[in-house]
Chains A and B, each alone.
Chain A
Amino acid sequence: MSDVKNILLVGVGGQGTILVGKILSTGLMDAGYDVKMSEVHGMAQRGGSVSNQVRYGKKVYSPIIDKGQADILVSFETMEALRWLEYLSPKGKAVVNDYRIPSAPILMGKNDYPEGVLEIIKSKVPTTVIKAAEVAKEVGNGRTMNIVLFGALVKGMKLTDINWEEAIRQNVKTGMADINIKAFNAGLALVD
């Protein structure tokens, strides 16, 4: 079981973590891995904190990732990375989008958006910080932010051998495939 890898995607309802989970698991499946994926439905989608968990290897049992178990944490929003950091293995790494979505208590002025999130995470694990919104805009469509992050994830997990273009084509609308592939490649280039 030690060959099973754990990828944790987190963000805010509506940010497109589910699509990335889909593309990721399609590609892994086509590459011959056993794959399990868990996602959150229902209430939490209304602007709440969401996670999407992908596990792959020769044989996967549990569909969920436990605390301290993720090999990589990809956070689509900055402070969500800190909320879910306890799920990352101390030997894992983080990809964090430098992109803030204030939650309700912050919007109401009850809490402040926490400062120094990136520094805390960097002090614990190897961390790649990405301004995915800006990259997506440069690519030509701000809504491909999630796919930029996906590119960074693929590089971070050394999964570049898989045919991701095909996996993207299978999961997005035909007219959107090219721009998403462009965003994916831009994301790939952000991690070395």
Chain B
Amino acid sequence: MKKLLTGNEAVALGALEAGISYASAYPGTPSTEILENLAEYKDEVIAEWAPNEKVAFECVIGASVAGARTLFAAKMVGVNVAADPLFSFAYSGVNGGMMLVSADDPGLHSSQNEQDNRNYAKFAKIAMLEPANSQECKDMVKTAMEISEKFDTPILFRMTTRVCHSKSLVEIGEAVKPTKKPYVKNLQKYDLVPANARHLHVKVEERLKKLEAFSNETELNYIEWNNKKVGVIAAGVAYQYAKEVFGENASYLKIGFSYPLPMAKIKAFAAEVETLYVVEELEPFMEEQIKAAGIHCIGKEKITNIWELTPDIVGKALLGETRPVIDYDLSVVPNRPPTLCAGCPHRGFFYELAKLKNVMITGDIGCYSLGGSDPLNAKDSTIDMGASISMGHGAQKIFNRFNENMRTISTIGDSTFFHTGINSLMHVVYNRSNTITCILDNRITGMTGHQENPGSGFTLQGMPTTIIEIEPLVKALGIKHVRTVNPLNLKELKEAFTWALELDEPSVIITRWPCVLKKQSEADKKEFGNYFGKCVVETDKCIGCKACIKTGCPALQFNKGTKKVKIDESQCVGCEVCKQVCPVKAIKRVGE
């Protein structure tokens, strides 16, 4: 039977067919749906959200050492967080097979940088597989497990946004009942004290040699002979683009096992073709190695390493071909940037925050990153998850040292706080700064599509669990000044900021209100009640001052002709933030 699946769905299915029984991850686009899909198979697989990628990776190591086949998945920057265990697990090797999915995001559709994680395979000296469509995504999981166990190596399973999120046809196979290998205590292998690790490095180098021999033999790297004037070496989605451009007019060396590269096969292929192109997205990962092996090829001198490729970019670079397009003036179309939803609990918070003077607002990653956009504009930085608190601390220390009248305010979501904010806050307490940390607790991981987290009360597989409460947690870290406020209440927010700014010690403000799109749990319903409703503008009272428009709510529209504001009732949920900012009380709740 054939099904149309995304690469992520196919990996989950592949895991089932490969007998994987443990998987752990922290969400991150474009990898998130792998674990979400795996979680459905409750009888076969234990699938867990970890608070961050390092934790997830280490849990997976434990499960592998215990003897299970295992999977870890992350977006590319998530692999950075897991890099510490990765580099050492590369030395110890596996017991049950282990693959780490790195979902890279060329084009930065939803990421803060464009790093090419193929480099991790070379850096950590582990094997790498690169699927080019959903069928390969599924099939290569099983292959990954076999290679991992045979060569005693973790596998870097490298995907990209287009492989993760595009759908193609997949022939479905049979799920197998997961089994496990026996656990055997083995200090020489799993105890990386220097005396052991020293010898393991020797093994790692031997393993690389064996893997290269395998790379030259395996059908995962195959040649398609056509016209020999042009030869193309490509992997992943770049292979699809090359096929689109050259069709039958070129021969291909399709790389599925991309580290170590099949250098002997490449040499033989190169010898047969007149011009050799290496078509790859982002960095010259293959090209540099091929050139270092003394093989002439053309790659990044023609094909850009910036942003994602498309067939047209490849065609233009290598053949000079361009496609006719409709000629018109695109500049007349206004932008459509993403916005905080109508009723989002982050809105009121940023609206009040924007009013503060002499502050540096260090941001973090999540829906609340949008608090830095027009018209709220309440943010100075976003670097990586957890950084708001530690960057805020560093900046505050310097402002204090140089007697500048500045305070730093760190803004961080609940999931991000659990991810890596806790350590940073510990640092703030330990090193005695006076930053103000605002934890925006919308009771869920919003941005990536509502994943449960340690504060939400449920596991990935739907089990009710202990809710880790943020207020006692930050108190336990040593924060003496904590306030929990309702972010739909602007007065409460304003008072909290004034209170915190007067303190000479670090403080935490927790805004607690559920994401407007969250499917509320029983606990949510009990705590927050049914607050949904509608607001309307009493048109005769509206003076057209646009104060409400400055909240950036997409349900509010200013009519330039009538100079009045209208509320779109299909979007309004009655959060009443606009009602509080109206200077003439022209906005009321329906039914009040």
**Residues of chain A at the chain B interface (Cβ within 8 Å):** 1, 12-13, 25-26, 29, 34-49, 60-64, 66-69, 79-80, 82-83, 85-86, 88-90, 102-114, 120, 124-125
**Residues of chain B at the chain A interface (Cβ within 8 Å):** 2, 4, 29-30, 109-110, 133, 162, 165-169, 237, 240-241, 243-244, 247, 310-312, 323-326, 328, 330, 332-341, 367, 370, 374-375, 447-449, 546, 549, 552, 554, 556-558, 560
B338 CB contacts on chain A under 8 angstroms: 13, 43-48
Q: How far is the CB of B224 from chain A (nearest CB, A)?
A: 12
Is the pair B328, A124 in contact by a Cβ cutoff of 8 Å?
Answer: yes
Given contacts A37-B4, A48-B336, A49-B336, contact A43 B554 (CB under 8 A): no
Given contacts A90-B326, A108-B549, contact A29 B4 (CB under 8 A): yes
B311 CB contacts on chain A under 8 angstroms: 61-62, 64, 66
Is the pair B326, A47 in contact by a Cβ cutoff of 8 Å?
Answer: no
Is the pair B374, A104 in contact by a Cβ cutoff of 8 Å?
Answer: yes
Q: Apart from A44-B338, A49-B336, A109-B549, what are 15 other A-B pairs with CB-CB below 8 Å?
A: A35-B168, A35-B169, A39-B165, A39-B166, A41-B165, A42-B29, A68-B323, A82-B328, A104-B337, A105-B335, A107-B549, A107-B558, A108-B375, A108-B552, A110-B334
CB-based nearest B residue for A94: B326
CB-based nearest A residue for B109: A42
Report the Cα distance A108→B556, complex, angstroms.
Answer: 8
**Interface-central residue, B244, B324, B447, B556, by most chain A CB under 10 Å:** B244
Is the pair A109, B241 in contact by a Cβ cutoff of 8 Å?
Answer: no
Report the Cα distance A113→B311, complex, angstroms.
Answer: 33
Is the pair A46, B167 in contact by a Cβ cutoff of 8 Å?
Answer: no
Is the pair A46, B340 in contact by a Cβ cutoff of 8 Å?
Answer: yes
Is the pair B4, A62 in contact by a Cβ cutoff of 8 Å?
Answer: no
Is the pair A29, B169 in contact by a Cβ cutoff of 8 Å?
Answer: yes
Given contacts A40-B109, A42-B29, contact A79 B334 (CB under 8 A): yes
Report the Cα distance A88→B324, complex, angstroms.
Answer: 10
Report the Cα distance A151→B341, complex, angstroms.
Answer: 30
Q: How far is the CB of A143 from chain B (nearest CB, A)?
A: 11
Is the pair B326, A88 in contact by a Cβ cutoff of 8 Å?
Answer: yes
Report the Cα distance A110→B336, complex, angstroms.
Answer: 12
Main secondary structure of the interface of B (DSSP, over half): loop
Report the Cα distance A85→B329, complex, angstroms.
Answer: 10
Is the pair B30, A68 in contact by a Cβ cutoff of 8 Å?
Answer: no
Is the pair A66, B370 in contact by a Cβ cutoff of 8 Å?
Answer: no
Given contacts A34-B169, A35-B167, contact A107 B336 (CB under 8 A): no
A46 CB contacts on chain B under 8 angstroms: 338-341, 367, 370
Q: How far is the CB of B9 from chain A (nearest CB, A)?
A: 12
A39 CB contacts on chain B under 8 angstroms: 165-167
Report the Cα distance A94→B247, complex, angstroms.
Answer: 29
Report the Cα distance A172→B312, complex, angstroms.
Answer: 36
Is the pair B339, A120 in contact by a Cβ cutoff of 8 Å?
Answer: no
Report the Cα distance A98→B592, complex, angstroms.
Answer: 36
Report the Cα distance A88→B446, complex, angstroms.
Answer: 34
Report the Cα distance A13→B30, complex, angstroms.
Answer: 17
Report the Cα distance A88→B325, complex, angstroms.
Answer: 7
Report the Cα distance A39→B164, complex, angstroms.
Answer: 10
Given contacts A25-B4, A68-B324, A108-B558, contact A63 B162 (CB under 8 A): yes
B326 CB contacts on chain A under 8 angstroms: 68, 85-86, 88, 90, 124-125
Is the pair A36, B328 in contact by a Cβ cutoff of 8 Å?
Answer: no
Given contacts A29-B4, A41-B110, A103-B337, contact A36 B332 (CB under 8 A): no
